[in-house]
Chains A and B, each alone.
Chain A
Amino acid sequence: MTATSLTRPASTGGGRGRRPGRSGARSMGGVGRAKRREAIALVVPSLLPVLLLSVAPLLVGVLLAFTDARLVRRPEYEVVGLENFQRLLDNGFFWDSFRIGMVWAVSVTVLQLLAGMGLALLLNADLRLQGLTRVLALIPWAMPPVVVAIMWRMIYSPNAGPLNAALGGLGLPDDINWLADFSTALPAVVVVGVWVGMPQTTVTLLAGLQQIPGELNEAASVDGANAWRRFTAVTLPSLRPIVTSITSLNFIWNFNSFSLVYVLTEGGPGGKTMLPMLFTYLEAFKNRNIGYAAAMGVVLVVVVVLLLSAYLWSQFRAEKER
């Protein structure tokens, strides 16, 4: 949630989360010492579990990456310095999985954005059936990732699945084993990723669209701008901050995604859908090399943070130039 769906929603799986914003800097003037003490007393109880169950583990996790810890009853481990990272450099399977994770995260994020933008524009236009579409657009977001995966396994089922049946009806090849074929497995899970993640993107973009003053579009119309021109000159620039934040968040969530693909394919066939989180999970809990897995986790986090900073920096520059 999601932490996976907690995330992720189900997170995991499942995700949710918005950009925290400042709701008007209403200054309290000189906040008295007593008041401040009161505020701290109110916040501390929420800090404790967080420190114990997320901040401390995160730090320990980084330390683990420099040890040869194994997941056994009586763990005795030694500090091995950078050995895990050196091994990782030569681990072709890890980098394969990393590449698959990138392809997955980038394609899901881009398709989510495009599909979500299309749907948001339709929901913002004056059409019927919007109530139905709104409800439909929210359900995938809320469903348990496991149920989503079970559902799509049925859709993709090679013999009795509706997808192959529909293709057969159109006279196309109808014997594709979508989730087990080397060439279709990754695209097939990407579609499910888009199905799950599109709603949140849509809702966020829709909220942004509804804040664009109608006069802006009217003025552009009067000036003779057609729909496409209005979209590129008025809508898109106004949505830019929202697009930037939702894209960054989606990318991270997708890159950290686990539950959906784990239940859909368990990383198969032949590792073709082995997302980095699955790879790391298997290394830690099946091969029991928890120190080595922690090193993988550290590498993944560092790369994601670097990529994201580069993206945000480029957006920031573009924003400044305007």
Chain B
Amino acid sequence: MREGIKRAPGFWPRATLFYLYLLFLYGPIFIIVVLSFQGENASLSFPMQGFSLYYFSEVFDPHYIGDYRWPFGRSVILGLIVMVLTMGISFLAGLAFRKNFKGNILVFYLVVASLICPSILISLGIGIGFSNLGLTSQWWSGGLGAHLSWTLPFGVLIMLAVFSRLDPRLEEAAKDQGATQWQTLRHVTIPITLPGLVGVALFGFTLSYDEYPRISNVAGEHNSLPVELVNALALAATPTIYAIGTMTTLFSLLVIFASFVVVYFMQRRRRGYGAKKMLKEA
């Protein structure tokens, strides 16, 4: 029966634009993957020279100028720390914002300011601040702070949106039934806001893992992956960069896939749990 559907006027132009945009998004990534399989002494551009896994082995070669294994590991660890902190801080802030505490407007504007503040200002400010205290900023100290200044606005804005859609009657009902504050939080508030929290987690990790300008001055002697990549570009640009691109993209796809599997099973478990409970009570 679907053939009978009458498309809205302008459907095809819009559909065309959508798929063209996807092509525009994926084209360069596809090229990266293709060009990362070149033979030795290749350049960053076409024509493709030879076919080998040379540049993939280069990534793992410890004698190579930029050994990318450690920066990659650091970026993942930093991303995970930023993810957990962004989730926790944003969730707590979301709880507080619901109560419209005194000064909430000021804190809200501070969050927006953190989002729009020019990256170099944050980077330079943290770097100079550390050195004036007699410290050297490292990726896990100043770098972590720089990343939080970027991820927290997204986290808090998402949590504000999530909490504004949360029906407070659900929590009131739990309290009326004698649940303590902690039980309400644990069994009502957190489960309902979980999809939003997963979103915050994904945002937190991605934004940190990918971030360059804010951490550029404060990573210390041990760089994160994006900083290492920009440095490598300035020195000698080889298709090794594409090989890293190919591998990190693959890694990211795995992470996304894994998180979807987790969310899927969480939802299924929750549904199953509710149904079982109903059966028991019946």
Q: Do A and B associate with each other?
A: no
Chain A contacts to B: CB under 8 angstroms = none
Chain B contacts to A: CB under 8 angstroms = none
